[in-house]
Structure 1
Amino acid sequence: SHSAAQEAGKDCGPTPVRNALDQASGWAQGTLVRTHVASPVVEEEDKIGNANTECQCLEGEYTSFFLTKDQSHLQMNEISWKDVANVLSLANLIMGLFSIFCSLSKKSSCASWMLLIGFLMDMAVRTITRHLNICSKSGAELNDFAVFTTFGLATALLLGVDGPLNGFLAIIYVLAASFRLCFYSTSGLSFTYKGLPCPYASCVLASTSLLTKGNRFILSCMASLMILFMMDQSYYPHDEILESENWKKIVYLGGVIILFFSPFSIIAFYCLMWSLSYIFFPDVLWGKTECLR
Structure 2
Amino acid sequence: MSCPQASCWAQGTPVCTHVAYPGLEEKDKVGNADTECQEPHAPGPNQCTNFFLDHDKSQPQLDEFSWKDVANALSLANMVLGLFSIFCSVCKKPHCASWLLLISFLLDVAVGAMTRHLKVCSKSGAELNDFAAFTTFGLASALLLRVDGPLSGFLAIIYVLATSFRLCFYSAEVPFTHKGLPCPYASCVLASTSLLTKGNTFILCCMASLMILFMLDQSYYPHDEILGSENWKKMIYLGGVIMLFLSPFSLTPFYCLMWSLSYIFFPDALWGKAACLRSQHQGN
Q: Same fold (TM over 0.5)?
A: yes
After superposition, residues 66-77 of structure 1 pair within 5 angstroms as: 66-77=52-63
Q: What residue in structure 1 maps to residue 133 of structure 2?
A: 147
Residue 85 of structure 2 is aligned to residue 103 of structure 1: no
How far the C-alpha of 1:61 sits from its partner, in A, is: 2.2
Q: Which residue of 1 aligns with 2:64?
A: 78
1:150-202: per-residue Cα shift (whole Å, max 9, x none)?
00000000012111111110000000000000011x31111111000000000
Partner amino acid, structure 2, of 1:137: K
Aligned 8 A contact 2:137 2:184 in 1: yes
What amino acid does structure 2 have at the position aligned with 1:286? W
Compare 238-247 and 164-173 and name the one that shifted more.
238-247
Q: For residue 284 of structure 1, what is the aligned residue in structure 2?
A: 269
The one-letter code of the counterpart of 1:86 is N
User: Following the alignment from structure 1 to structure 2, what is the Cα–Cα distance between the partners of residues 122 and 235?
Assistant: 19
Letter in 2 for 1:141: E
Task: Write the letter of the residue equivalent to 2:121.
Answer: C
1:137 Cα offset (Å):
2.3
Q: Counterpart of 1:240?
A: 225
The answer (yes or no) to whether the contact 2:224–2:271 under 8 Å persists in 1 is yes
Between Structure 1 and Structure 2, the one with more helix by share is 1
Q: Is the 8 A contact 2:117 2:227 kept in 1?
A: no
- State how far apart, in whole Å, the 2-side matches of 1:99 and 1:250 are: 27
> Which stretch shows the higher mean deviation, 109-118 or 65-74?
65-74
Q: TM-score, normalised by structure 2?
A: 0.81
CA distance in structure 2 between the partners assigned to 1:242 and 1:68 by the alignment: 31
2:206 counterpart of 1:221: yes
Higher strand share: 2
Rounded Cα–Cα distance in structure 2 between residues aligned with 1:166 and 1:178: 18
- Secondary structure class of the residue paired with 1:106: coil
Number of equivalent positions: 238
Aligned to 2:3: none
| Residue of structure 1 equivalent to 2:114 | 128
Give the counterpart letter for 1:234 in structure 2.
S
Aligned residues of 2:114 and 2:227 also touching (Cα < 8 A): no
1:61 aligns with 2:47: yes
User: How far off is 1:211 after superposition?
Assistant: 0.4
Question: Partner amino acid for 2:141?
Answer: T
Q: 1:115 is matched with which residue: 101, 107, 111?
A: 101
**Counterpart of 1:94?**
80
Q: Secondary structure at the match of 1:242?
A: coil
Q: Give the counterpart letter for 1:103 in structure 2.
A: S
- Could you say what the CA RMSD is over the residues aligned between the two structures, in angstroms? 1.6
- Runs of 4+ aligned residues of structure 1 deviating over 4 Å after TM superposition are none
- The CA distance in 1 between the partners of 2:146 and 2:259, in whole Å, is 25
Task: After TM superposition, give the deviation of residue 90 of structure 1 in Å.
Answer: 1.1
Q: Which moved more, 1:169-178 or 1:139-148?
A: 139-148
Structure 2 unaligned residues grouped into runs of 5+: 1-42, 279-284
